[in-house]
């Protein structure tokens, strides 16, 4: 029997949301792509923020944004 120990890793390059490009989509395609739910939208109509402690660095959110509002830091 082989035991696998899970490790909690953080992303090296955490994406960030450029508020001036973000259109605050009602159904944000980038939030849909984020399987860890690291993109948080606190208030409707405002740009989401990336919770770095939840982001694993898959960067699927970057190309998912049709406005190019999510970039790598």
Extract the tokens encoding 57.
């660095």
Across-strand partners of 15? 72
Within a domain: 5: no
For residue 15, the SS3 value is: strand
Within a domain: 1: no
Q: What is the pLDDT of residues 16-28, one digit of tens each?
A: 999 999 999 989 9
Number of separate domains in the chain: 1
Within a domain: 35: yes
H or E stretch at 49: strand 49-50
Model pLDDT, residue 12: 72
User: In whole angstroms, what is the distance from residue 65 CA to residue 22 CA?
Assistant: 9
Q: What is the pLDDT of residues 16-67, one digit of tens each?
A: 999 999 999 989 999 999 999 999 998 888 999 999 999 999 999 999 999 9
**Range of the structural domain that residue 41 is part of:** 10-73
């Amino acid at each position: 029997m082989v035991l696998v120990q899970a490790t909690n890793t953080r992303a090296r390059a955490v994406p960030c949301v450029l508020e001036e490009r973000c259109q605050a989509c009602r159904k944000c395609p980038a939030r849909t792509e984020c399987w860890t739910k690291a993109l948080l939208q606190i208030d409707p109509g405002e740009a989401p923020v990336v919770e770095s402690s939840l982001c694993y660095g898959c960067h699927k959110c970057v190309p998912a944004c049709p406005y190019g509002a999510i970039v790598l830091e």
